[in-house]
Amino acid sequence: MFLPRIGLILGSLLIAWVLMWFTQGTGVVQDDPERNIAIPDELTMPLKIQVAYNDEKIFFRYRWPAEAAYVYHDMLRYEGGQWVRYGSPPIGRDPNNTYEDRVTMLVDDGKVPEFARYGGYITVGANPRYFTDTAAASEVRQHPHLGEKLGASDVRKYLPQTRMDIADWRGVKDEETLQQQREAGYFLDLWHWRAGRSNAIAASDDQLIAEHRLGDSGRGPYTTNWDSENNQPAWMFDSEQVGIDALNWDDIQANRFDFDGLYYLAESFAKPFDPDHEWQEGDVIPRRMLREPSGSRGAISVAGGPARWQEGYWDVTLQRALDTGYPLDDKMFKTQGEYTLGIAVHRDSTGSRWHYVSHPYQLGLSREDTEVTAHHFNGEQPDWSDDWTEMTLFYPGQVNWPLLVSDAHAGAPDIEAGKPVKPRHSEKQLAIYGVEIQFNDEIISQWCKTLVLGLFLMLGIWFGLDRLLQVYVVRKTQGGA
């Protein structure tokens, strides 16, 4: 009579364990656009990089897999007599294919020492845009520096020392200190290639991270094509030059384009918008107009003409003068110099924080003791060999610097002690943490219940076995066991 009952008890334990094993981690993590949460299908992706330089310029070549290229960005569609915008920064993936692919690279020359140890994490401050606890646009607009001076309506990347309190984006240090920081090199150079807003004219944006994500001085590679007074585009295609008045919504929906054709509007073939033109339902005019960049902001360009996506890979080569002559905007490269790179990729029609980022990597010019080596060459263009540095990029989720240096992070004392992240956390680990932190309260609650119910099961098993042994003892005493 004991065997079936013991079998039931042990069966309960084994069934519970098997059930828990195969259902663990389910039931909590899911997309929640209202909280700015969208989980990408893949949490990591590969990237390969090569770097070379001649006496004048440095060249960075990036190659990464992407199922498709997304080059359309921020479009105005004519519908019902109105020009309707498609391409505001999406939560996760843009269903309309109106958000471009990008590769971005942060560069430092040692003046921002935490960057070499923790990479882009140091630039993610409190309440950044598209976090669940993002700062209210109205509050940012009213901020004397960010809103009133810089014209910002959201909190973007910033460096820790630009704030009086690391956990408060509002406490920007005074103008004089910010200027002194910049002159001391306390900023990160940001190379920003966009498949829609710069690549078509073989340009790249050139920005920097200081107290905010700022543009370098000069003119950027695009401008906004919108006449807010009349609620219509400011520019349209000049059909006499290019044969079309507008793009077609069906092509955008199908993500159909030709790298040699027109999928963008540029200053060189645009003309002032004509509201009296017979616009058709589904006509599309890009909300961004490309233009030749200039000054410090135009220092980076695409080597060899616009980059292409083919056979499942983007292959982008950017070039820039070793010394741009703008020391307050750019990090200059010198032979035997060592630099830190942090690279990020947007793919699959995503924007803002839905990118894949790298750990910090050390770059050396003609140095063999760094993770990435830039080789010197003579001539105009590098003769790329097959000598790539391979990286794994990861989705960082909603982890910010204030969290990492707080008591909630077990590694905070290590950060304080200056221990780097790379030997400690793999890309996969950081990606998973980045996802889970978005559901931290829910997961802790479910984890607590799992822990307690597991112990309750053991209690039940103990009650059952104890009682059976009691019965066994009685029967044995009675001689009947």
Partner 1 sequence: MSGIHAMLVHFPIAFWALASLMIIVGALMQGHWAQLAKAGLLPVLILGLLGGIAGMVSGWLVWPADANLYSPLTRNHLLMSFWAFGIYAVVTALVWRYRDLVFEGAFRWAMLVLALMGGLFFAISGTLGGHLAGSPTPFSDLLGAGGWTVYETFYVPDWVLVVILILAVASAVAGFTAKTRS
Dihedral angle sign, alpha carbons of residues 221, 382, 325, 339: positive
What is the distance between the alpha carbons of residues 376 and 254, in angstroms, rounded to a whole number? Answer: 43
| Contact residue for partner 1 among 258, 276, 369, 407 (CB under 8 A) | 407
Give the contacts of 121 (CB within 8 A, at least 6 positions apart): 396, 399, 400, 401, 404, 421
- Residue of 301, 295, 302 whose CA lies nearest to 324: 295
Residue 18 binds partner 1, judged by CB under 8 A: no
Tokens of 198: 């710069």
# residues contacting partner 1 (CB under 8 A): 73
- Cβ proximity to partner 1: between 332 and 430 the closer is 430
> What is the bridge-based pairing of β-strands 188-194 and 265-266?
unpaired
| Contact residue for partner 1 among 256, 271, 277, 424 (CB under 8 A) | 424
Sole window of 87-95, 295-303, 347-355, 440-448 interacting with partner 1 (rule: CB under 8 A): 440-448
- Rounded to the nearest whole angstrom, what is the least distance from the CB of residue 25 to partner 1 in the complex? 5
In the chain, the amino acid numbered 454 is: G
Sole window of 24-32, 46-54, 168-176, 262-270 interacting with partner 1 (rule: CB under 8 A): 24-32
Residue 84 binds partner 1, judged by CB under 8 A: no
Tokens of 8: 């039931």
| Contact residue for partner 1 among 1, 228, 369, 479 (CB under 8 A) | 1
- Cβ proximity to partner 1: between 294 and 406 the closer is 406
Contact 208, 214 (CB under 8 A): yes
Residue 462 binds partner 1, judged by CB under 8 A: yes
- Rounded to the nearest whole angstrom, what is the least distance from the CB of residue 420 to partner 1 in the complex? 12
- Cβ proximity to partner 1: between 3 and 184 the closer is 3
- Cβ proximity to partner 1: between 240 and 441 the closer is 441
In the chain, the amino acid numbered 357 is: V
> What is the bridge-based pairing of β-strands 301-302 and 102-108?
unpaired
Subset of 221-240 contacting partner 1 (CB under 8 A): none
Contact 186, 110 (CB under 8 A): no
What is the distance between the alpha carbons of residues 74 and 247, in angstroms, rounded to a whole number? Answer: 13
Strand ranges inside 195-280, DSSP E: 205-209, 213-215, 222-224, 235-237, 247-248, 265-266, 270-272
- Rounded to the nearest whole angstrom, what is the least distance from the CB of residue 417 to partner 1 in the complex? 13
- Cβ proximity to partner 1: between 334 and 467 the closer is 467
Residue 417 binds partner 1, judged by CB under 8 A: no
What is the distance between the alpha carbons of residues 96 and 87, in angstroms, rounded to a whole number? Answer: 8
Residue 480 binds partner 1, judged by CB under 8 A: yes
| Contact residue for partner 1 among 76, 170, 469, 479 (CB under 8 A) | 469
Sole window of 256-264, 272-280, 283-291, 460-468 interacting with partner 1 (rule: CB under 8 A): 460-468
Residue 410 binds partner 1, judged by CB under 8 A: yes
